[in-house]
Amino acid sequence: MPRASGPLAEALAHRAVLLDGGLSNQLAAQGCDLSGGLWSGRVLAEHPDQVGAAHTAYVRAGAEVLITASYQVGYEAFAAHGHDHAETTTLLRRSVRLAARTAEAADHEVWVAASVGPYGAVLADGSEYRGRYGLSVRALAAFHRPRIEALLAAGPDVLAVETIPDTDEAEALLTVLAETGAPAWLSYTVAAGRTRAGQALDEAFALAAASPEVIAVGVNCCDPANVLPALETAAAVTTKPLLAYPNDGSVWNATTRTWHTPEDPVPWPTRAWHAAGARLIGGCCRIGPDRIAALGALPGTFGRSDRGE
């Protein structure tokens, strides 16, 4: 069957759509080695079949959007590990093709979202949770432009501009999106009611509200407790569909490359997120297929009536 019957933006106007979960944790669960600075990009380069298997696990769990394995793929970082420009371009396009192949084999419609991770992700030092890299908006746009162009050449349904910690980087990305005209969602990572760089969320979401290319805006890779306040702030400045795909509340330690998990699981008030306007809902780091399947089974959020079945 066709991987999707129409643009994702059209679906979001009518119903909630279920995202997948964390790709890196699923690859780790499959026994993949994610050590080193390339993270899931290493698996994309060395064992692409494992990336396809991870996508398949999420489709079987009911995911309707697959986010590609391109989050940490950047030309400079991959050059430092021996990949030339052409090889990195091939990897970016491969990430889209792997997700598309899985989507086309699914028994329900599935959209492919090409992941555009932040500048900090390719540094592999945790700075995607801090922002303020010391780069100008122009320099950040120059960094992201070739990655976005390579991903778009492979034909994704939408760009997943995700885990953005900083309004300067958001401005740079929106500039590149305006050049391409490609549909995208924009998702910030947040803490304590502000961006990770400490900026006001209403101003951050307002940037996306003014962009015709952005089909949805919200938060990801954050503590679930931060989601609802952020969505409420977003809803006050934009009428665009909102999105939420937090992690499990764990905190990443870039020095030790380990997650620190909270003693008590953080509840997910998913119905409240939906009521606040979230129409793309799923999980990020440490959220696996079982959690996505349970999320999709929630009555009144991703039920049969939502899917038009």
Tokens matching residue 186: 């924009």
Q: Which of 5-9, 174-178, 304-308 has the lowest mean pLDDT?
A: 304-308
Give the confidence band of 254 by pLDDT, cuts at 50, 70, 90: low
Q: What is the pTM of this model?
A: 0.94
Burial 259-285 (b: 16+ CB within 10 A, else e): eeeeeeeeebebeebbebbbbbbbbbb
Mean pLDDT of 54-75: 97
pLDDT attached to residue 37: 77
Reported for 119-122, long-range contacts at CB under 8 A and 24+ positions apart, including other chains, are 119/74, 119/143, 119/144, 119/169, 120/165, 121/71, 121/72, 121/74, 121/163, 122/72, 122/73, 122/74, 122/76, 122/77
Tens digit of each residue's pLDDT (9 = 90 or more) over 38-62: 889 999 999 999 999 999 999 999 9
pLDDT of residue 307: 40
As beta bridge partners, residue 164 has: 188
- The reported pLDDT for the residue numbered 171 is 98
pLDDT tens track for 109-124: 999 999 999 999 888 7
pLDDT band at 261 (very low <50, low <70, confident <90, very high): confident
Query: pLDDT above 70 covers what percent of the chain?
Result: 93
User: Which contiguous run of DSSP H or E holds residue 186?
Assistant: strand 184-188
Q: What is the arithmetic mean of pLDDT over 241-267?
A: 76
According to the model, what pLDDT value does residue 304 have? 41
Q: Quote the pLDDT of residue 220.
A: 97
The stretch 67-72 carries a mean pLDDT of 96
Quote the CA–CA distance of 275 and 280 in Å, as a whole number: 12
